[in-house]
């Protein structure tokens, strides 16, 4: 739908669920913001090497985002001091970049990036291997990426929100079985609605039974972001008030895309 019809649906939907719908034109605007994020993450991945600090990557990300005419959405968000989250090894999410944190060979780095372009947000994350690729890390990251893809595939009109949650969980468990190991699926943190704000309703868990929660409607936009660990799913937040780490010290990975629900199926917004 377009024009006044979409605005009327938005008003009705907000009255029931608080979830905002976007018009096709607004979805295109979100794709433009998502492309800025995708280009920035690709640039960061190519520069993330042993001897490079996460602070340097943060500076590079901010320059990339601003050169595109966008604004880093993470910087100063509730006081967050940087333009990206850089989470190394046992850090799950929300790691704060620093010039003092220098990447080493064999590190596992998750990069989370957000940008605002003409009022619309894009949000995505990737996990990068630094130098030598550890086989167990590679399997863990592949499992998380498979869980993300399964979640995206479940973002279908007419379904329910937890259909996505269940797809993420099922894919992660299947990967663990295939790898003959167990992975911790982080349940305390998850995806979210996205649009003119970075975090909007609904919260999107990474575990759950299917068929629950709001019905998926064309025009919804969601950030889908599974996080897996090589051990326990238990986490704790450090004294900096942001960085989330695994309690058992196991390594963690994070993959994310912003996705729109459309009549033709899921549309990934954070690609070039």
- Cα–Cα distance for residue pair 19/9, rounded to 1 Å: 11
Task: State pLDDT tens for residues 112-145.
Answer: 999 999 999 999 999 999 999 999 999 999 999 9
Q: What is the pLDDT along the chain (272 residues), one digit of tens a residue?
A: 111 222 322 333 333 457 999 999 999 999 999 999 999 999 999 999 999 999 999 999 999 999 999 999 999 999 999 999 999 999 999 999 999 999 999 999 999 999 999 999 999 999 999 999 999 999 999 999 999 999 999 999 999 999 999 999 999 999 999 999 999 999 999 999 999 999 999 999 999 999 999 999 999 999 999 999 999 999 999 999 999 999 999 999 999 999 999 999 999 999 99
Do residues 61 and 114 touch, judged by C-beta distance below 8 A? no
Using N-to-C axis directions, what is the helix angle for 54-67 and 24-47, rounded to 10°?
A: 140
Residues 6+ apart with CB under 8 A from 136: 181, 230, 251
Please classify residue 241 by burial: count the beta carbons closer than 10 Å to its beta carbon, then call 0-12 exposed, 13-18 middle and 19+ buried: exposed
- Cα–Cα distance for residue pair 115/34, rounded to 1 Å: 8
Give the closest residue to 163 by CA, choosing from 200, 134, 125, 206.
Answer: 206
Q: Which residues pair with 84 in a beta bridge?
A: 113
Do residues 221 and 215 touch, judged by C-beta distance below 8 A? no
Chain-centre distance for alpha carbon 252: 14
Q: How many CA atoms lie within 13 A of 247 on its CB side?
A: 7
* pTM, two decimal places: 0.92
């Amino acid at each position: 739908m377009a024009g006044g019809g979409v605005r009327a649906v938005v008003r009705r939907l907000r009255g029931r669920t608080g979830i905002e719908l976007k018009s096709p034109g607004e979805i295109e605007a979100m794709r433009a913001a998502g492309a800025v994020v995708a280009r920035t993450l690709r640039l960061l991945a190519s520069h993330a090497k042993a001897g490079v600090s996460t602070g340097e990557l943060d500076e590079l990300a901010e320059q990339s985002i601003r050169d595109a005419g966008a604004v880093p959405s993470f910087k100063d968000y509730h006081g967050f001091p940087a333009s990206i989250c850089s989470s190394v090894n046992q850090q799950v999410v929300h790691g704060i970049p620093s010039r003092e944190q220098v990447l080493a060979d064999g590190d596992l780095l998750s990069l989370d990036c957000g940008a605002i372009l003409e009022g619309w947000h894009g949000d995505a994350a990737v996990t990068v291997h630094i130098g030598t690729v550890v086989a167990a890390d590679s399997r863990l990251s592949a499992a998380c990426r498979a869980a993300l893809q399964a979640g995206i595939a479940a973002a279908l009109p007419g379904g329910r929100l937890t259909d996505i949650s269940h797809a993420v969980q099922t894919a992660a468990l299947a990967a663990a079985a295939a790898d003959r190991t167990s992975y911790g699926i982080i349940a305390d943190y998850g995806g979210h609605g996205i649009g003119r704000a970075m975090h909007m309703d609904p919260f999107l868990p990474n575990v759950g039974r299917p068929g629950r929660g709001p019905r998926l409607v064309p025009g919804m936009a969601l950030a889908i972001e599974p996080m897996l660990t090589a051990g326990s799913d238990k986490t704790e937040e450090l004294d900096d008030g942001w960085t989330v780490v695994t309690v058992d010290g196991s390594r963690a990975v994070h993959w994310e895309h912003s996705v729109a629900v459309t009549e033709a199926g899921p549309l990934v917004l954070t690609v070039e």
